Amino acid sequence: MDEKNKFEDEIDLKAVIKSPSRMFGLIFPYYVVLFLVVGIYFIKHLNETSLNRVPPHYTDSLDINVNVEVKKGGVMPAIDLSIISNPTADLIETGKKLFVTNCSSCHGNEGKGDGPAAPALNPPPRNFHKVDGWTNGREFNSIYKTLEKGVPGTGMIAYEYLPVEDRISIIHYIRTMADYPGIDDKTIAELDKTYELSKGIVTPSNITIEMAEEKIAEENTLSEKVLNTYFNKINSYSDQNTVELFNKYVSDKQKVISILHRDYSTPDYKNIFISRVILSPLESGFKPSITTLSKEKLSKLYDMLIKVVS
Ligand code: HEC
């Protein structure tokens, strides 16, 4: 063996330092091991989020519904028109309290248009002690209109949600701040005609979504007796081929009948029925295989069902 191919017994460090490529070859394995160890350590210690293991949480917007307050509807009491022409001291006192809670932030406690929110408003809130510059006007009816509709494009919003009597009492309080135009019978008649104050205002009942869903479910549950008459009608239907289709492609007979019973009076229901059956057979009570039926057969099936339920 010649000198060149002989393995070195001992590594000559001095020679190695002089030859960078040899040095690299010697150090390289240590680096590989070092990187591996550090890399494995790093990956093992990644947290759930970095590894994307935490399932994303989607909030269904339907879950964040805020229910309305349950309220029995009725007629907002018709008001006695005499409170417009002859306000009692009590009424004006109530008006003052309501003014302070609802209006003074802008109009100021004394109605001088200098409430804490006033500096930010352009145009500024009205000074009720001044006669000039009113948009709607200072007559009783004009102020009523301002409260009903607000002044569009300004900070003055509508207060139509305040009960009529409260609004009237506030207006009377405002009228004590300066000399306002008088109120004659014609004015009152006009106001009554416009807003039907002496008729009262009908407000609908409020129920929660859950209550509404329960009610709908209740209304749509057909009694056993009704269902049976429907099934009997189907079985004795003249076109037995279509009856066969019904038996073959329906997975939930009760569901099919209930949905039809509920919806058949919807305009253009035939098309709705057919597209629903094709798009979501299971939800409509049919087997998925029904989607292979021709439109003509679906149409026959529909005609039979509609005869049965109507
Ligand atoms: C957020 C501030 C704000 C609040 C609260 C507010 N107003 Fe006003 N109001 C205004 C502003 C601004 C104007 C001036 C509108 C304009 O220049 O036409 C105004 C104008 C008015 C006018 C005069 C309308 C006209 O014809 O010029 C009346 C009357 C009035 N408010 C009554 C009330 C009453 C009553 C309340 C409480 C129930 C109330 N406002 C609450 C900001 C407010």
Whether residue 185 has pLDDT greater than 50:
yes
Residue type (1 letter), 248? K
Instruction: Using alpha carbons, select from 165, 166, 169, 170 the residue that is nearest to residue 197.
Output: 165
| Ligand 1 centroid to residue 155 C-alpha, Å | 7
| CATH 1.10.760.10 domain range(s) in the chain | 74-203
| pLDDT band at 10; cut points 50, 70, 90 | confident
Return the higher-pLDDT residue of 61 and 195: 195
Contacts of 159 (CB under 8 A, 6+ apart): 102, 147, 148, 150, 167
The string of pLDDT tens digits covering residues 284-306 is 899 988 988 899 999 999 999 99
> HEC states along 105-156?
HHHCCCCCCCCCCHHHCCCCCCCCCCCCCCCCCCCHHHHHHHHHHCCCCCCC
* Mean pLDDT on 186-210: 83
Label the pairing between strands 201-203 and 74-76.
antiparallel
* Mean pLDDT on 252-265: 88
* Mean pLDDT on 143-154: 93
| pLDDT band at 102; cut points 50, 70, 90 | very high
Contacts of 55 (CB under 8 A, 6+ apart): none
| Ligand 1 centroid to residue 101 C-alpha, Å | 14
107 touches ligand 1 (CB under 6 Å)? yes
94 touches ligand 1 (CB under 6 Å)? no
Instruction: Using alpha carbons, select from 263, 94, 237 the residue that is nearest to residue 167.
Output: 94
CB 101 within 8 A of CB 116: no
Nearest CA, atom 14, ligand 1 = 125
Pair of tokens at residue 227: 């269902």
Options 3.90.550.10, 3.40.50.300, 1.10.760.10, 2.40.30.130; which CATH number does 74-203 get? 1.10.760.10
* Atom number, ligand 1, closest to the C-alpha of residue 137: 26
The highest-confidence range among 174-183, 210-219, 225-234, by mean pLDDT, is: 174-183
Whether residue 90 has pLDDT greater than 80:
yes
